[in-house]
Structure 1
Amino acid sequence: MEQGHHDNLVEELSTEAPDLYKNFIRIDRGLFNEIGERVTPYIEKKLTYWRKSIKPGLRVAITLRFLAMGDSYKSLQYSFWVAHNTISYIIPETCRGIVAAFEDEELQVPQTPEAWQEVARVFEEWWNFPHVIGAIYGKHIKLRNPPRGGMHYFNYKKFYSMTRLAEMLLQEGANLPQPEALQGQPNGSHVDYLLVGDDAFPLRNYLMKPYTKRGLTRRNGFATTGEVGHAGWWRTPSGF
């Protein structure tokens, strides 16, 4: 394990090249240390006469690398010098530890229209974009299809992953606020509260996406670089 990435490459990057460290682990060293400290009570193993325990920091590094890149367990074993069958236990256990350590403050999904409106208020304050309850990106964590799962968990990237948020939105179970007129336009059309995503996502009432660039010109609504705020660049079923 001392020959693996965690005790060599990762440590060197953290002191010599912080940007590359963040690119490799996907978070900076300060946040990594905080996660390690808070998750340690859930994942630390006792040292015994029979085996040397794997340190919490290494467990967290393996898990974050897996979540960031989707590497196979066998690929990770060569990177971190930890057997792939051991990694198969480390990653689920560490994920459970992260959820247990952070769920009360970081992983709470709004449950009421008022809570969603507060999210939209902050988003508009930061980005000057009204009625947005979040931005999504197509990062999926692979999983085995559950028994009798059929195609229920099969995503557009051609593998299985969890899609609970999509289910809630499609079934109108997310408890979003009702459509309202935009601030400053009390007599205007009512606009849905929605997510924003890139062109990989399907167009939905709850999802705004950009027009595809294929075949578009400036004349029919294409915004060039630096003109992302062009009114014709985004589309929703309602045309907003």
Structure 2
Amino acid sequence: MSRMRKLALVLALDADEDGGNEHSRLWVHDINRGRQHYGAFHSLVQELRFDNARFAAYFRLDKCQFEALLRVVAPTISKQNTIMRQAISPEERLSICLRYLATGDSFRSIAFSFRVGASTVAGIVQQVCSAIWDCLLADYMPVPDTSDWRKIAMGFQKLAFPNCLGAMDGKHVVIEAPPSSGSVYYNYKGTFSIVLLAVVDARYCFRLVDIGAYGRNSDGGTLSASAFGTALRQNTLGIPEDSILPGAEHLGPMPHVFLADEAFPLRRNIMRPYPGYNTGEKKVFNTRLCHVRRMVECAFGILASQWRVYRRVLCVSPEVAENVVKATCMLHNFIRWDTRTAPMSSTGTSATEPSQGLQNAPRLGTNNAGREAVAVREKFAQYFISEAGRVHWQDNI
């Protein structure tokens, strides 16, 4: 190689090191060095503390709820300071995560606002979402035991549907197509998604959730593959024994049921509407079922309205998207639960327990279960047109 070519190569390498890789060699960007003076947490958030309504509009939690949540998750999300730099405080980390959930903005937009790195925001969102789910699970979404199921049924009885344990439905959470995933996340709506399968009580609170199923699966397929569906088939959920409907001793003991739409199978403990156009008692049954099943639809609406991340395409991996959905469902219960009383349950049962110890439980025969499910639905239909089960508005719809 000639002397001139060697000199040109050296100059080109020097120019590349001085120019092209300037930002990659920075420990902290100059703009981010002003985080403690100009970052959103150290400036705007501190001003919002003097206005609770604007604080709640910014984070979707008021100041008291924010502080209560911080006390619970702070030990899990705290980081240790080093001689190289000062760690981001738990309060700021929680603020970054809640702002992402409340807006659905990109990690880069959140990073510019809080004056941190985009990769830092990505790590914070994943860690804090996981901490919210783990720290609040035992108090705000435990698996109901038999006594809890009875309380839930009492709530639905006030809505004129006795022996009901919950309204069930699935929601597609739109995500960016994962690399090399083929069509497993591609759903019938023409988007890529993971599925949130939820059982909701009469207070719009999530009592059981299954998150992360492939978007191409139907609601019935998602239920069948979930821990909840397995526990329901094998009768390990602690569902109360069959009981008499109010004023309908002639119908005999009736099972406790979950209400669902046409996408779910008809089973002894799952009631779905009569298909097609109906009249008479079948139409009344469909009306009463839809009147109660709206609870889960409303819960999904509240969830998407509260946390605007559901209005965007989640440009994250399915694993991170699952953590995001878990956190928002838990925060939904956390906000709606009356903090002046005890949490939902004091048992501390984990929501993953239904999947344990289910392998040896007996299964019902498909044909027998189908005939029994049809008989149960017919008895409910008869009850709703009887004097004991009739409500004044059902004939006007």
The TM-score range, normalised by the shorter chain, is 0.5 to 0.7
**Alignment partner of 1:120 out of 149, 152, 173:** 152
- Seq. identity, %: 22
Residue 14 in 1 paired to residue 49 in 2?
yes
Higher relative contact order (CA 8 A, sep 6+): 2
1:69-148 matches, within 5 Å, as: 69-110=103-144, 114=146, 117-118=149-150, 120-121=152-153, 123-124=155-156, 130=162, 131-133=164-166, 138=171, 140=173, 142=175, 145=178
Q: Could you list the runs of 5+ residues in structure 2 that have no partner in the other structure? A: 1-34, 197-209, 212-218, 274-282, 294-373, 385-397
How big is each residue's C-alpha offset from its partner over 1:17-69, in whole Å with a ceiling of 9 and x where there is no partner?
x2332232122211211221221211111222211211101111111222333
Instruction: Please list, as runs of the form range in 1=range in 2, the aligned pairs for 1:1-240 lying within 5 A after superposition.
Output: 1-2=35-36, 3-16=38-51, 18-110=52-144, 114=146, 117-118=149-150, 120-121=152-153, 123-124=155-156, 130=162, 131-133=164-166, 138=171, 140=173, 142=175, 145=178, 150-151=183-184, 158-163=191-196, 164=210, 169-171=223-225, 172-175=229-232, 177=239, 182-188=245-251, 190=254, 193-194=257-258, 203-204=263-264, 206=270, 234=291
Residue 84 of structure 1, CA deviation: 0.8
Is the contact between residue 41 and residue 95 of structure 2 (CA under 8 Å) also seen in structure 1?
yes
Between Structure 1 and Structure 2, whose CA radius of gyration is higher?
Answer: 2
- Residues 61-81 of structure 1 show CA distances to partners (whole Å, capped at 9, x for unaligned) of 111222333322112112222
Which runs of no fewer than 5 residues in structure 1 stay unpaired? 210-220, 222-229
Alpha-carbon spacing, 1:4–1:185, altered in 2? closer, same or farther (3 Å): farther
CA 1:173–1:70 in structure 2 vs 1: closer, same or farther (change >3 Å)?
farther
* Residue range with higher mean Cα deviation, 122-131 or 52-61: 122-131
Q: Is the 8 A contact 1:134 1:194 kept in 2?
A: yes
Shift of 1:144: 6.9
- Secondary structure (helix, strand or coil) at the match of 2:166 reads strand
Q: Is the 8 A contact 1:43 1:93 kept in 2?
A: yes
* Alpha-carbon offset, residue 102 of structure 1: 2.0
C-alpha separation in 2, matches of 1:183 and 1:56: 52
More helix by percentage: 2
The amino acid that maps onto 2:53 is D
Indicate conservation of the 8 Å contact 2:185/2:194, yes or no.
no
AA at the equivalent of 1:234:
H
Cα shift readout 1:195-240 (whole Å, capped 9, x = no counterpart): 57xxxx865455879xxxxxxxxxxx9xxxxxxxx85963879578
Q: Secondary structure at the match of 2:49?
A: helix
Q: With structure 2 as the length reference, what TM-score do the two structures score?
A: 0.43
RMSD in angstroms over aligned alpha carbons?
4.2
Per the TM alignment, residue 149 of structure 1 is displaced from its structure 2 partner at its CA by: 8.0
Asked if 2 retains the 8 angstrom alpha-carbon contact of 1:119 and 1:133, the reply is: no
* Separation of aligned partners in 2, 1:149 and 1:119: 44
Q: Which moved more, 1:41-50 or 1:121-130?
A: 121-130
Distance 1:192 1:104, change over 3 A: closer
Which letter does structure 2 place at the counterpart of 1:173? T
Is the Cα contact below 8 Å between 1:153 and 1:162 reproduced in 2?
Answer: no
Shift of 1:153: 7.8
Partner Cα distance (2:156, 2:289) in 1: 19
Give the TM-score, by structure 1 length: 0.65
2: CA distance between counterparts of 1:52 and 1:128? 58
Aligned to 1:213: none
Q: Note the C-alpha offset of 1:191.
A: 7.0
